[in-house]
A = this chain, B = another copy of it.
């Protein structure tokens, strides 16, 4: 077997993305590869992405949570569901999504404020969101009672396929839902045949 040539920077980026369980920032790639600037790192990722788009219908590179990730393409989801019957992930309940929506667009926001918007007590759902690491405590509000303030996490961005919170629909006045630009880019996942409660992999690693 002939010895393979030294890996190219693109190959290294491929391995880094594969091995990392959290989104990999361009800056990290720059650092690890000793590149001159972040632009070079982005260019390498783009090159790799083009290679995957050309040769693989199984995997893709997406930009999410402030970094890059290697993930499966939606088209192969049905087979993965068959593979991973056990690894299904419970979807969030409607109240939890509602509370999450409030945190997402008003962050940082305190529990009394969340309660006020929803008109009901949100203790249990916030507990749930904390457990799933979709939100976290970011401090205390300088208000009487000093309630905790919550904000969304990187896990949240990953779980919902967002590059950053700016990808969220604008909510001034009426809710303006962007033309799901991000979705289109990340591989248009029409929720075709719903393969049950398929599990997005948002394991926290460790």
Contact = CB atoms under 8 A, between A and B. Distances in A.
Interface string A136-166: 0000000000000000000000000000000
A82 B7 contact: no
B15 A59 contact: yes
Contact of A86 (B13, B18, B32): B32
Contact of A55 (B55, B73, B184): B55
A3 interface: yes
Nearest to A3: B188
B83 A5 contact: no
A15 B4 CA distance: 24
Given A12-B79, A14-B59, A18-B18, 5 more contacts: A1-B184, A14-B58, A15-B58, A15-B80, A28-B83
Number of copies: 2
- The A interface, classified by DSSP as helix, strand, loop or mixed, is helix
A205 to B, nearest CB: 11
Contact of A82 (B32, B76, B79, B83): B32
Contacts of A174: none
Interface in A181-206: 184-185, 188, 201
A18 B69 CA distance: 13
Contacts of A11: 56-58, 73, 76
